[in-house]
Structure 1
């Protein structure tokens, strides 16, 4: 019998089966996140809303308009109309600057309120929050100094932190920014811009009076400063007289960016806002928007334009503002019993928020856990400060609940603060 020697391939295969498998090399770690992503914290407001989503919770923490008063029938009619009448256009790409019919409608609303505006002065943004991000891209270099109010809208602080800006707070009082302090800080720091919510400010609800607006405009013109005027709440006035935009005062016309939104007056889910700015800056923001999202959804823009042309938005806003005024009054009526003796609070003429301060020694953030345990919530004020936070402050939203719910929420608040 002839024995055949195994060939080299067969031998190698046998040896491979007999040998242990090689240990795989350890996977290399993925590259780290950008430093700015690690350095910028989340929104305490969003964190609180996640904790307080239970149906039994009475939530004074949110900044949400009351959904009961959305014109759902009118908005639905708008979407039906544009999808039936111009479906190809509604579902197609649009220009970065936005649908001309909507820009013209927004420009007309500005003009009706005394600020001459053309459609070409505007970009439609995906909410006014995107307008802030576009401005940060177009204006701010890492290390640039910018000025903000004290306290300041929290999401603006996040945008400026991502941009790498150095943020300096301008002192003020119950009426808002102190123009003399602003002048001194501009001279000292040579900032690039001032960011302000001058009407029914978030978080305080305060409104900057006309004379101070004129003074802020004068400082900006004399010192060479951009003003970013954010106005998401200005139409929600339920008492007092309207104050003109800072953009309309001498000295500010060629250096003010005006942001606005349909979120508080039509529906936040549409994510429709706008940015009004001088031509060169507007062009830079349009390029930044091209890189961000190409354009705001066409169908939403056309639906909003249809709504403005076929419905009376001003009448709708007036009805909503009247209800919000009743809810503010309900909250004001119960605060003295709900907050510790020695607390103070303001009386906003519109908007969605009021600002309270507990007596010295109280920490609103530390007290929040006990308050939430009583099924009510607020937002501690400290995160709204760019520097030197006041731990005794807190923000209360009064628009989402009916007066009887507000009264019950304040009773729970008292129990939580005293527990």
Structure 2
């Protein structure tokens, strides 16, 4: 069996069997590397090399966790949550439904804007979601629905809109790599190429909202990590709220100016300490709480980088595609389906669609040209193949981010409540939409 396929299957099987994702990634990488003939020593050297690439990302998220806890301590999120609950209690059932759907719309809007207007990616989740868990509990919102909403906003936005992170994915990586592989994309409208796949994602979201998770689901009101017992009826200092708003604005400005999430979160945290919203004697405790909240996502992302490096070093991604090409025959539909399936497999293992594109583009462009696909269809196939698997991968930040917020009180399982729902509702319709796009464009 191909080493990449074997490694990904082992990693996914262990994850779904409730083995911790970090352990699953390590074992999968070892099995894949050894089966490719790299040996134990070379495989671990490759894994360690990849870990170094993920350290800065993990450190940024740890600092972000500390910043999120500081915001929670300021009382600003609780003030918003208590306002929502008061509005719900003061009105009739119709007002409660309006507020519920308004909150779901707010979460979706935040996820979309996190990719472009306020390009902080998953950084909004630990700031917005944990303080609102009590509100979602009040409305009996199924957290699997919230996971689908956030993942939709995170993935669909960058794979369709060429702004912010979408500009990086679509222009700097997708079109740039296709050009380097020998296909001129100067006259291609990338939004036209990715429009049908984006509609596939939208169909998946509508199914999740209107069918799969429309029924109420009850949760217990538990303390949120880093926030202690939250009492929504307690008054909140207007000074603390003003400082929190200032810290958020400065965090965003510094992050955009310096292109560093780590520095932005550090500046935001420093504002809270300097303004004595967080006392100097409490700073260590707040930082530790933030570290605990983001520890899982940090370690998984570090391990995922190691796994990805081993997969690249096996040199068997190309042989995987070549072997699959023999089954194409003259069928355009089969060719598109297999290429999309390979993209899904690679991204599920690596956990990053941004990292998948450079790996598959150099192989897929010649195949698409040989099969007679149009330039627009080629861009659509490769872009969709890269995005496939970002939703539903245990190691993707598009699933880890929602879990970090929704599991802040220990009632949301990463695999069962985020990975499986997002895989079923987004990868399957995206796979179908990608095949349709390949045939009609």
TM class by shorter-chain length?
under 0.3
Normalised by the size of structure 1, how large is the TM-score? 0.26
Normalised by the size of structure 2, how large is the TM-score? 0.25
More strand by share: 1
More helix by share: 2
Which protein has greater RCO, CA pairs closer than 8 Å, 6+ apart? 2
Higher Rg: 1
